[in-house]
Every structure is written in C-alpha cells, then in structure tokens.
Amino acid sequence: MSPTPWLVAVTAVAVVSDAMLLPFYPQFFAERFAVSDPSHIGGYLAMSCLVVMLALPVWARLARRVGTLRLLVGTQLVAGGLSLSCAVVTSLPWFWGLSMAMLVAKASYLLVYPYLMHFEPQDRHATLIGTLSVVVHTGGILGAVIGGLVLEHWQAAQVFRVMAVSDALQVAVCLLLLRRGRAPHAAPTTPPAPGTSGAILRLGVVMLVFTFSATLTRPFFARFWELASGLPGEVLAGAVFAIPGGVAVALLAFDLLGRRSGGEAIVLPLAIGLVGLLLQASGEIAALLAGRVLFGWALFRVTVRLEVRIFQLSTPARYASDFSKIHVFQGLGVLVASWGAGGLVDAQGLASPFLVAALGFVLCALAHRLLLASAEATPARPTEPVSART
C-alpha cells in the first residue's frame, strides 16, 4: 500500500487542528483573557506566523539528518504536551509563550508537502497539489466547525485539548509508517535548469502578495458575519467561513471528471476573486454568501496554479529548499496580513479588510505579469493538468 494516503492524512489532521481557532480568535481572547483589542489579536496572529516561518528551515535541516517521519514523531509529541499546557494556563503572557512554542513544534508537519512531492512522479504533481489544496480547504471546514462547536458548548480551553488529540493521531500515523517500512525511497536527482533560482524568488513575491490578500479577511470574518447578518452562533459563523473550502472540494471533484481544458493563467481567477471580495464587503447576506463562493473558486484556482509552478521551476533535489523559500514569502504575507488586520479593523471597520484584499488581488495580477512573464514562457516540466484548469 502506498504511503501517500497516510501522509496526506497526517496533513489533513494537522490542518484541522490549526484551523479550529482561526475564525474565532477575537471570541477566544475575549472569553479566556478578557482581551478584545483588535491590535492585540492581530499581533498574536502575526507572531504565530513569524515563529512558524522561522522554525520551518530549522526543521528542514534537521530532517535531512534524522528523517522526516522520525522528526515528526518527536515534534508532534512535544506539540501535544504544549497544547495541553495551553489548555490549563491562565496567565496571558504564559499563554503567549506556551502557544508560540507549540507552533514551533507544529511547524514541522509542513515538511510533509515537499516530502511527498520529492517521491511522487512528475506527472502526478498537479493531481497531488490539487488534492492537498482540497485537504487544506476541507480541513478548514472541519476545523472551523469543530472550533465553533467547542466554543459554543464548552470552554475555550477545550480547543487545545482537541489539538493535543490531533497531535497524537499524527504521531500514530508516522509510527505506523515507520514500523511497516513505508517511508518512500529517494527519487533520482536532476540538475536545476539555468535561471530557476531567480524565477523561484520572483514567484515568491507573487505568492507573498496573493497570500497577504487571501489571509487579510480571515481573522475578523466571524465577527463581521455576526454583525452583518444579525445571526449569532459560532457554528453558523464557522460554516459560512468554510464555504470556500466546500467550493474547493466541488472543484476538485469536477476537475477529476476531466470536463475542463487545461490552463495556467491566474488573471481571470483573481478578477473573479476580486468580485467575490467586493460582494462580501457589501454586508448584505445574499451578496456575502455569493461572494464567499466566488472567493473560494478563485482561491482554489490561483493556489493550485501557483503551487504547480513551484515544482515545475524546481527539481526533485531542490524541492524542500525551494519550498522553504516560497514558504518564507507566504509566511511574510500571512504575517503582514495578520498584523495589519487588527489595526485596519480598528481604524476603518470590519469591512475594510475585504476592500484592501481586493486591491491586493489587482497588485498580484500585475506582479504576475511583470515578474513571471519570462518564467511562464519557458518550457515547463510536464505535469498532469487536473487541477491547473480554467
């Protein structure tokens, strides 16, 4: 049996765990620590992103010595223990310290992505990227629903106990693969094509702008929905937050039927995403829901197409290194968005992140045109055109 489904399962469990509090940090801090300052919440999210961004290269170096699966066993055990500590701590400074340490340990699961790509054939990369993208979106759905249920029916601290359970599941999967000898063997290496390093960095800039724009609306979406709709309840807010994930699942299923022609352009999806953002900013329930659908369509298409380019521009021997570089750019995008969201909402209101994100989509399209035109013109390594479609 192939180890790929098991490793995808590890990613799914980790994503669900990470997504449980994502739409509910304002409610969590208000209930647990009586903190409602948007700038404090934005600062916490920005610092969370920063520690993950700095930890990943360290884990990547260590994984070369001890192996990815063995590393995950140790780091997720530590993450589980720290999650349980976060569930019982009552001091805000101690919560900051313990939760940041937990995120440092959790960051190691991101190595599963380049690990999988390194051992999968090139002609399966697009399919696998699409599958992983759906895993991320589906994990966002489940995480938001589970987080909403926990916050609505139990104390906020219980979220971290659920996180500890997910860490234990990841450890169990990694131990099972190691015990059965299911860790993949190395694939043959190929030399990098001339100029690919510069193209990777240019792609990183484009992904920074896109990630910033896609992330900016997340921290305060649940509160925006509750105020705009007048419908209270974390479960409902989590369900609306997760609509883009449902759209991604539907798109992948549709793509796997082979009903659409191939394509790599991102301008049209970005334009559709821009419309979706403006509809959400209107605050009207029907427009907001329609906007979530359009926004989800754009996120899936652009994300898959940009990530396919990472592995087209790279080689198996450099996948982990190039993925780490791209992740730094993505991390910077999340960091700036998380840091800026609190101040933006504080100064301009809850609808302002949607408007700034729409402008970001415009800048992303321009950056893609200016920075990647030459890279797009170069022959790409063949990939299966499943999820890179119009």
The architecture of the domain spanning 4-377 is: Up-down Bundle (1.20)
Q: Distance between CA 70 and CA 177 in Å, rounded? A: 10
Q: What is the pLDDT of residue 385?
A: 37
Q: What is the pLDDT of residue 122?
A: 65
Whether 38 and 87 have beta carbons less than 8 Å apart is answered as no
Supply the DSSP symbol for 11.
H
Q: Distance between CA 238 and CA 58 in Å, rounded? A: 33
Q: What is the pLDDT of residue 206?
A: 92
Radius of gyration of the chain (CA): 20
Q: How many CB atoms lie within 10 A of CB 315?
A: 18
Q: What is the pLDDT of residue 47?
A: 85
pTM higher than 0.85: no
- Cα 333 to Cα 40, 57, 150, 348: the distances in Å are 18, 17, 29, 20
Q: What is the DSSP string of 65-110?
A: HH-HHHHHHHHHHHHHHHHHHHHH---HHHHHHHHHHHHHHHGGGG
Q: What is the DSSP string of 114-178?
A: HHHHHHS-GGGHHHHHHHHHHHHHHHHHHHHHHHHHHHHHS-TTHHHHHHHHHHHHHHHHHHHHH
Instruction: Show me where the domains of the chain are located.
Output: 4-377
> What residue spans of the chain are helical by DSSP H?
4-19, 25-33, 38-66, 68-88, 92-106, 112-119, 125-153, 158-179, 196-215, 221-229, 234-241, 243-256, 267-281, 285-313, 319-348, 352-377
Q: List the chain pLDDT tens, one digit each, 390 residues.
A: 567 777 787 788 888 877 777 767 777 788 788 888 877 887 888 788 788 878 888 888 888 788 888 899 999 999 999 999 988 888 889 989 999 999 999 888 888 877 777 766 666 666 777 777 777 767 766 777 777 777 667 776 777 888 888 889 888 888 888 887 655 544 444 445 545 668 888 898 999 999 999 988 887 888 888 888 888 777 788 788 878 877 877 877 776 665 454 456 788 999 999 999 999 998 889 999 999 999 999 988 888 888 878 877 777 667 766 777 787 888 788 878 877 887 888 888 888 899 999 999 999 999 988 887 655 544 444 444 333 333
